[in-house]
Structure 1
Amino acid sequence: MPSTAIDSQIHGFLFGTDEMRNIFSDKSWVQKWLDTEAALAKAQGEIGIIPKEKADIINAYAQADRIDIPSIGEYYKSSITIVPLLKAFKAILPEGAGEYVHWGATSQDIVDTGIVLLQRDAYHVIVRDMKECQKAALALAKKYRDMPMAGRTHVVHAIPITFGYKCAVWADELGRDITRLKEIKERCFVGELAGAVGTLASMPEKGLAVQKRMMDILGLSVPTIAWHVARDNQAEFCTVLALCAGTLGRINHEIFSLQHTEILELEEPFFMGKIGSSTMPHKRNPAVLENNLALLRNVRSIAPAILESMISENERDWGCFLSEWEAIPRACHLMGAVLSKTKYILENLIMYPKHMERNLFIQKGLMMSECVMMHLAPRLGRMTAHEIVYKSCMEAYEKEIPLKEVLMKTPVVTEAFTEKEIDHMLDPHHYVGLAPAFVDRVMKKYAAE
C-alpha cells in the first residue's frame, strides 16, 4: 500500500511522475542489482574465473520478474547487505549456478553500482526535460524579443526591459545548468568492484581485468580506486540537482510574482474546470507554481544531507549511503515532477501584454528618471543632473503627479529641452537599451543545440 507522497494514488501527481516512479520502483532496484551481478559473472566467465556455462545461466536468469521481491524485504529485516538479493536469486538458478554469483565481490560493490545505474536513468530524464524547459524559454525570448515591460530591482520599478530579455536570462541560466549536468556525467557514473576494503584481494591476478570488462558491459566508467567511503560523486550529483532547483525556483517564483493581481503580467496555464478555491469561485490561483516552489525547496534541502554523508569512517561505513538510498531517489522524483510542470507552464504561459504596457506608466514617468538624467548629464555633469532629477522625482512621487509636470516647471530642464524632447525621454518604449541584442546573443549561443 502506498504510504509516501511520491507513491500516493491521491497526491502522487503533485510529487512525482510515473516515469520516475518506474525508474526507482522495487523492480528497477532489483533489476539494477541483477544487472550488476550478471555483468560481474559475464566478465568472470569470459576471463576464466568462473565456469562460462555458469555465467551464461546467471545472465539468462538475471530478470527481476523471476525474483520473489517481497522475500528480499523480509530478509532485509535481519540484513542490510546484498545477501537478501543473493538468497532470492540463488533460489531460481539451476545447475548450481547460484554458487558462482557474487564471486569475489562485496555487498557495497553491488548496491553502489546499482544506485549509480538508477541515477543514470534518472539523469537522462532530467537532462532531457531541462533541455525542453530551455527550449520553451528560448521560444518565449524570440517571440517577445521587443516587447517592453517594467524592469524591477528590489521589487520596485527600475527601467524598462523586454519580456524576451527576461526569458533569455532564464534560457541562458538553464543552459549553464545543462552544461553542469553534462560535466558531471563522467565523474558520477562510475561503477564499483573493489571487494571488502577496496583492494580486490579476492581476485589479485585478474581483478582489474574483471573490473574493466564488468564496467564496459554496464556502460560505466572504471574507478581509479575504490570509492566505498569516498562519496563525493553522490554529493556532486545532488549538489548539481540543487543548483538546477535554484534556477527552476527562480523562474517559477518570477512567474508567480508577476501573477499578483495588482501586476498580472503573466499567469500560469488555466483551463475551465481548474478550481482555485472551495469558497471563492473567482480564484485563479498559481497552484502549479506553488507546487513547484515547494518541491524545489525540498530538492535544495537534500544536497546538505548528502554532503554530510561524505563523512564516513575507515574503509567501509554503511551509514553514509543509507542516507543516499532514500534521499537521491527522492531528489530525482521531485525534480522529475517539477520539470514536467515547468515545461507545461513555459509552453502554455498566459501573457497579458496590455498589463505590461499599463504597468510601464503606472508611476507616471518615474521609471524614466535615468533616461532624463543621462540627457542632462552632458550639459550639467552627472552628479548635478542626478540631484536635479532626484528632487523632481521625489516631488512627483510624494504628490502622485506625472514627472513631466515637475520637469516642465524646472527651468534648467526646459532651458535645455523642448516639450517634445521631454516626452521622448519619458517614453519607455525608447529606453530598452540593448535588451533585444542580448536576446539575439543568447539565441545565437544555443542555435546549434
Structure 2
Amino acid sequence: MTDAGLLSPGTHRGDAHTDDTAVLQALLDVEAAWVAAQADAGLAPPAAAGAARAAARAEDYDAVDVARRAEGGGNPVIPLLADYRRRLEQLDPGAVRFVHRGLTSQDVMDTAMMLVLRRASVPLGRQLRATAEALARLVEAHRGTVQAARTLTQHALPSTFGLKAAGWLAGLQDLEQDVAGLGRLPVAYGGAAGTLAGSLALFPGAPDAAEQAVDLARRWADELGLGTPPHVWHTSRRPVLRSAETLGAVCAALGRIANDVLLLSRPELGELREPAAEGRGVSSAMPQKQNPVLSVLLRRTALTAPQLVAQLHLAASQYVDERPDGAWHTEWPALRELARLAVAASSHAQELTAGLGVDTARMRANLDASGPAVLAERISAALAPLLGPGPDGATGRQRVQAVVREHATDREGMLEALLDLTAGTVLADGTPVDRGLVADLLDPAGYLGANDLLIDRVLARHRRGADAPPAAPGTPAGAADHDAAGGPAGLTPRSSA
C-alpha cells in the first residue's frame, strides 16, 4: 500500500522533508548521533561514530517492512533498531553495543519528529521569505492603486490594493520568530521513566554522573542541530504544541491571502488573477474555465490545519504518568501532516504571489460603481458641522445623510445637492464651500486615511527582517536556554553528593 497523495493534491511539494523516508532517515540519524555523542564524550571510540553514520542510510532499509513490524511494539523505533544493529554489525561489530544505550523509544521518536520539523522548516522559511519579497513588491507597486475596502462583504470605504497586500505581508511578519523557532527545537531526553537513570549508568562511580549525563544530552543535541531542553518532556508536550501552533498559524496566514484572491478573482469582480501554468486550473467538463487552483489548495490547507492542531492539544491533555499510553501515538501523523501541509502551502503561496495579476482599472471601476456614497463618512465629517438644524428639526448630520442616501449612486446629483445644502457656508478657516471643495470630497483617492504611513511601516519592518541574517539551525532561542555558566539550563541536576 502506498500514499502518493491522490486525495491531497499539491502536498507532494512537502513530501521530501516529511514522507516516510524522511521520518525513517530522521530516526536513523538520531540513533547515529547518539553514538557520535558518546564518542565525543569519550564513551565510545571515534570509529564507532563513523560506522554508526555509515549504517544510517534510509535507502538501505525497507520502510514498509518496518511499518508492519512496528505493530508489535507500538512504534517504529523497535523494529528499526533491530535492522540498524544488524547492518552496523556488518560494518563494525564493536560499535553495536553503543547503539541506543541509555535511551528509550520515546527519546528517539520524539527527537526524530523534532528533527523532521527542523528540516522541514528550511524550505518552509525559504519559501515564506520569497513570498514576503513578492508581497513587498506588490505593496510598493500598488500603494496608490485605489480599490474598495469591503466589510461584512459590502463596500465600506476607499482603500488601496497596496494596503491590502501590506496586510498580507504583516500577517507573515507576525510569524517570523515562530517559524525561526522551528529551527531551535529540543531533543527529547529522559530514558525509560524520565529519570535519566540509564544515562547515569554510562558513568559508573563518577561523583558528577548526573552532570555528565546532562552534558551528553547537549552533545547529542549539537550533533543533530537541535537544542537542549529545559526539562524532560516525555509527558509535558509544549515543544510539540508550540510547533503545531506555528505550522497552523502559517497555514491560516496563507489561507487569508487565498481567501482574498478567490474573492477578487471572481469574474464579476475581476480585480486579481492567478498566474497561469500549463495544465493548471483546467476543468474536465468546461474547457473555457481557468480555475484559481493555487488559492483553492491554500484554502484547503487552511481548513484542514486547525483540526490537526486540535488533535495535538487533545493528545497533550491525555498524557499520564511518566510515559503515555496512546495519546503519544496520535501525535505522529497529525504533526507530520501539519508539516507536510505547511511546506506545500508555502510553495503554493510563493508561486501565487510572484505571478499574481492585478487589474488596476477593474479595481477603480468596481469602486466607482459603488457611487459617491462610499465617501459618506468623509462627506458627513466635513460638512455636517457647518449646518444648523433643518426646518423639520433634522440635525446637520441627518441633513447630509439624507442627501447621501438620495444620491447614493449619482455623483453629479450628489454634488449639486450638497452645493445647495451648504450654500453660503465656510470652513473654520474661512474657506468657502464651493464646487471645487465638494468635488474633492467626492474623490476616493483623497480619503485613504493613513495609507502611506501604514504601508511604510510594513515595508520598513520587511527591510529590517530581510537584512537580518537567519539563525543557524539548532541555535538556542535565547539566553533562557543556557544557565549563567554557559551550560544547558533546566536539566542541570544537583549532585547526589
TM-score by length of 2: 0.82
The residue aligned with 1:2 is 2
Q: Cα deviations across residues 122-164 of structure 1 (Å, max 9, x unaligned)?
A: 1122122111111111100001111111122222112211111
The residue aligned with 2:72 is 78
2:235 to 222, 226, 229: 229
- 1:404 and 1:422 in contact (8 A); partners too: no
CA distance change for structure 1 residues 98 and 346 in 2, over 3 Å: closer, same or farther? same
The residue aligned with 2:169 is 171
Whether 1:65 and 2:63 are equivalent positions in the alignment is: no
Whether 1:16 and 2:22 are equivalent positions in the alignment is: no
Task: Pick which of 174-183 and 235-244 moved more.
Answer: 174-183
Whether 1:259 and 2:265 are equivalent positions in the alignment is: yes
**Counterparts of 2:260 and 2:310, CA distance in 1:** 25
CA distance change for structure 1 residues 31 and 384 in 2, over 3 Å: closer, same or farther? same
1:390 maps to a residue whose letter is Q
**DSSP-derived class of the 1:263 partner:** coil
Whether 1:402 and 2:413 are equivalent positions in the alignment is: no
1:366 to 366, 369, 373: 373
**Counterparts of 1:445 and 1:68, CA distance in 2:** 48
Whether 1:45 and 2:43 are equivalent positions in the alignment is: no
The residue aligned with 1:140 is 138
1:391 maps to a residue whose letter is A
**Counterparts of 2:56 and 2:290, CA distance in 1:** 51
Gaps of 5+ in 2: 201-208, 426-432, 467-497
Q: Cα deviations across residues 81-127 of structure 1 (Å, max 9, x unaligned)?
A: 42201110121123243233111111111111111111101112212
CA distance change for structure 1 residues 196 and 273 in 2, over 3 Å: closer, same or farther? closer
**Counterparts of 2:62 and 2:226, CA distance in 1:** 28
1:198 to 190, 194, 198: 194
The residue aligned with 1:426 is 442
**Counterparts of 2:132 and 2:55, CA distance in 1:** 42
**Counterparts of 1:284 and 1:55, CA distance in 2:** 55
- 2:148 and 2:155 in contact (8 A); partners too: yes
1:14 maps to a residue whose letter is G
Whether 1:412 and 2:402 are equivalent positions in the alignment is: no
**Counterparts of 1:280 and 1:233, CA distance in 2:** 47
**DSSP-derived class of the 2:327 partner:** helix
CA distance change for structure 1 residues 384 and 237 in 2, over 3 Å: closer, same or farther? farther
Whether 1:438 and 2:454 are equivalent positions in the alignment is: yes
**Counterparts of 2:344 and 2:388, CA distance in 1:** 54
The residue aligned with 2:86 is 91
1:2 maps to a residue whose letter is T
**Structure 2 counterparts to residues 25-424 of structure 1, below 5 A:** 25-50=19-44, 53-81=47-75, 82-94=77-89, 95-183=93-181, 185-186=183-184, 189-204=185-200, 205=209, 206-270=212-276, 274=280, 276-311=282-317, 312-380=319-387, 384-397=395-408, 401-406=409-414, 408-409=416-417, 411-416=420-425, 417-424=433-440
How far apart are residue 185 of structure 1 and its match? Answer: 4.5
How far apart are residue 262 of structure 1 and its match? Answer: 2.0
How far apart are residue 321 of structure 1 and its match? Answer: 2.5
**Counterparts of 2:347 and 2:388, CA distance in 1:** 53
CA distance change for structure 1 residues 45 and 253 in 2, over 3 Å: closer, same or farther? same
CA distance change for structure 1 residues 100 and 131 in 2, over 3 Å: closer, same or farther? same
> Identity, % of aligned pairs?
27
- 1:31 and 1:63 in contact (8 A); partners too: yes
CA distance change for structure 1 residues 369 and 53 in 2, over 3 Å: closer, same or farther? closer
- 1:16 and 1:334 in contact (8 A); partners too: no
- 1:149 and 1:163 in contact (8 A); partners too: yes
1:85 maps to a residue whose letter is L
Task: Pick which of 302-311 and 97-106 moved more.
Answer: 97-106
**Counterparts of 1:142 and 1:360, CA distance in 2:** 21
**DSSP-derived class of the 1:28 partner:** helix
How far apart are residue 350 of structure 1 and its match? Answer: 1.5
**Counterparts of 2:35 and 2:109, CA distance in 1:** 16
Give the RMSD, CA atoms, in angstroms. Answer: 2.4
**Counterparts of 2:272 and 2:168, CA distance in 1:** 15
